[in-house]
């Protein structure tokens, strides 16, 4: 039984694409056949983050328009088995996405035996975001520890539970909250919202906290998924998210402020 998971946030720049890439890679690394679809038509990024930008021949919109088959458009990841990327079109806009077109692609992926279909949503609450969440069974809501991000996540949660296909049929999409770019030191200093506050405001179960980390930027720029960096805290935190998603009981990590290094530590440490 395949599952469609949307990675969404409302606000831009919070880490949806990074999360989509890391989460899909993590699922695939655990042996599940996974496809990740870039819904950000016109502002294609997922291919860059995943390091496949030079291998794009056909894209999502080509498949929807019947100009290419799904097999032709899917790019197989070279580092992780079971991982396939369906890139967005860079030359079109969101109007190229139709409900019927998206549905046929999702259904074909399901028929092809994909276990998980990860939909990387664009920012905003317009057509692209709406299309990305419409067929979702579960949703990962990506939030940064600041008020505008939290409010936008709240807004997208409302849309998810009122306008998705599952909601229209009277069901409810399973929600997971993922806090990214979390900096325990700044939370302690009062500059950032704490994770307990965010969970309280959104009242959505927490699936993970990804610490602010340079390794995320390095991984993005080099086109390597951050989960493949075994030393990175962010990569480890993403793998924890995948484990929790698959039902394992994993405690939260990297959420406490580091003790300040003393003078001698700084000097000699």
Nearer to another protein, 31 or 171 (CB): 171
Distance set, CA 216 to CA 15, 108, 247 (Å): 10, 32, 25
Q: Dihedrals φ, ψ of 181, to 5°?
A: 55, 40
DSSP 8-state symbol, 50: T
Q: Minimal distance in Å, beta carbon 168 to another protein?
A: 15
Residue 50 near residue 21 (C-beta atoms within 8 A): yes
- What is the distance between the alpha carbons of residues 153 and 77, in angstroms, rounded to a whole number? 30
Q: Minimal distance in Å, beta carbon 204 to another protein?
A: 8
- Strands (DSSP E) along 101-214, which ranges? 116-120, 138-143, 174-182, 206-211
Q: How many residues bind another protein (CB under 8 A)?
A: 13
Q: Minimal distance in Å, beta carbon 202 to another protein?
A: 8
Q: Is the dihedral of CA 166, 97, 38, 208 positive or negative?
A: negative
Q: Minimal distance in Å, beta carbon 3 to another protein?
A: 21
Q: Does 148 bind another protein (CB under 8 A)?
A: no
Nearer to another protein, 107 or 172 (CB): 172
Q: Does 140 bind another protein (CB under 8 A)?
A: no
Q: Which stretch binds another protein (CB under 8 A): 41-49, 158-166, 207-215, 222-230?
A: 158-166
- What is the distance between the alpha carbons of residues 252 and 240, in angstroms, rounded to a whole number? 8
Q: Minimal distance in Å, beta carbon 132 to another protein?
A: 18
Nearer to another protein, 127 or 155 (CB): 155
Residues with Cβ < 8 Å from 203, sequence gap 6 or more?
Answer: none
Q: Which of 99, 148, 203, 221 binds another protein (CB under 8 A)?
A: 203
Q: Minimal distance in Å, beta carbon 60 to another protein?
A: 28
Nearer to another protein, 31 or 158 (CB): 158
Q: Which of 48, 201, 228, 243 binds another protein (CB under 8 A)?
A: 201
Q: Minimal distance in Å, beta carbon 162 to another protein?
A: 7
- What is the distance between the alpha carbons of residues 85 and 225, in angstroms, rounded to a whole number? 13
- Strands (DSSP E) along the chain, which ranges? 3-8, 34-38, 75-76, 83-86, 116-120, 138-143, 174-182, 206-211
Nearer to another protein, 191 or 200 (CB): 200
Question: Would you put residue 254 in left (φ > 0), alpha (ψ -120 to 50) or beta?
Answer: left
Q: Which stretch binds another protein (CB under 8 A): 18-26, 73-81, 152-160, 187-195?
A: 152-160
Name which of residues 159 to 198 contact another protein (CB under 8 A): 159, 161-162, 172
Nearer to another protein, 48 or 159 (CB): 159
DSSP 8-state symbol, 14: S
Which residues of the chain form contacts with another protein (CB under 8 A)?
A: 151, 154-155, 157-159, 161-162, 172, 200-203
């Amino acid at each position: 039984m395949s599952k469609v998971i949307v990675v969404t946030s409302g606000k831009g720049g919070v880490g949806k694409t990074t999360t989509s890439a890391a989460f899909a890679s993590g699922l695939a690394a655990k042996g599940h056949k996974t496809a990740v679809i870039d819904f950000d038509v016109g502002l294609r990024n997922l291919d860059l983050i995943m390091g496949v930008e030079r291998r794009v021949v056909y894209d999502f919109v080509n498949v929807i328009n019947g100009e290419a088959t799904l097999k032709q458009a899917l790019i197989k990841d070279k580092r992780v088995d079971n991982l396939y990327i369906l890139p967005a079109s860079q030359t079109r806009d969101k109007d190229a996405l139709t409900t019927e077109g998206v549905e046929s692609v999702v259904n074909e992926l399901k028929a092809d035996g994909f276990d998980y279909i990860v939909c990387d949503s664009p920012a905003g609450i317009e057509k692209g975001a709406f299309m990305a969440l419409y067929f979702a069974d579960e949703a990962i809501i990506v939030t940064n520890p600041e008020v505008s991000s939290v409010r936008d996540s709240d807004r997208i949660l409302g849309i998810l539970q009122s306008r998705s296909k599952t909601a229209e049929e009277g069901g409810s999409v399973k929600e997971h909250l993922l806090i990214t770019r979390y900096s325990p030191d700044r939370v302690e200093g009062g500059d950032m919202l704490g994770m307990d506050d965010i969970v309280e405001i959104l009242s959505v179960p927490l699936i993970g906290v990804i610490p602010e980390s340079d390794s995320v930027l390095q991984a993005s720029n080099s086109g390597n998924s951050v989960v493949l960096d075994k030393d990175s805290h962010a990569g480890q935190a993403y793998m924890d998210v995948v484990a929790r998603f698959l039902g394992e009981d994993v405690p939260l990590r990297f959420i406490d402020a580091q003790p300040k290094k003393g003078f001698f530590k700084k000097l000699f440490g």
